[in-house]
Structure 1
Amino acid sequence: MQATLEQEIKELVISSLALEDVQPDDIDPVAPLFVEGLGLDSIDALELGLALQKRYGVHMSADAEETRRHFASVRALAAFVAAQRTL
């Protein structure tokens, strides 16, 4: 289940941010999404947050530190989405 969700989130990252030269298999699920790793920025975070809300109905906290932890990697996002689904 977690691996499937990670795959979905990788595809969502690529489609919502129009990463044309990136394939889902290119994204390491534990690599950072920001700065190193994919090198995303704050605008990308907003776009991705909106895409996650639309697709999974999750709500991001206004707490920047907590949100930063969720956006640390694809695996962290998958864990967050999975936890939100059980609420």
Structure 2
Amino acid sequence: MDEQIGKLRWRCRRGMKELDLLTLGYLERHYPEAPAEEQQAFAALLELQDPLLMSYMVGRETPADATTARVVGVMRTLLSDPHPS
């Protein structure tokens, strides 16, 4: 699992700092306890181009897949609270 997390952490490095914070935030705070299908959806999100991923994060577009939409919803909550105490 640690090797997989390391690979995902590397893929969380995006071209936009905002996306870095959201993807890493999800990976660190939600991914370990997420169901397998949500973990797979998160990994698939990391394969998307930054503009589409950002469109999901700001709500301009919504993923068609319900599981992916759930993961995006969790990630969007990080927009309002990126560094919880």
TM-score relative to the length of structure 2? 0.35
TM-score relative to the length of structure 1? 0.34
Q: Decide which structure has greater helix share.
A: 2
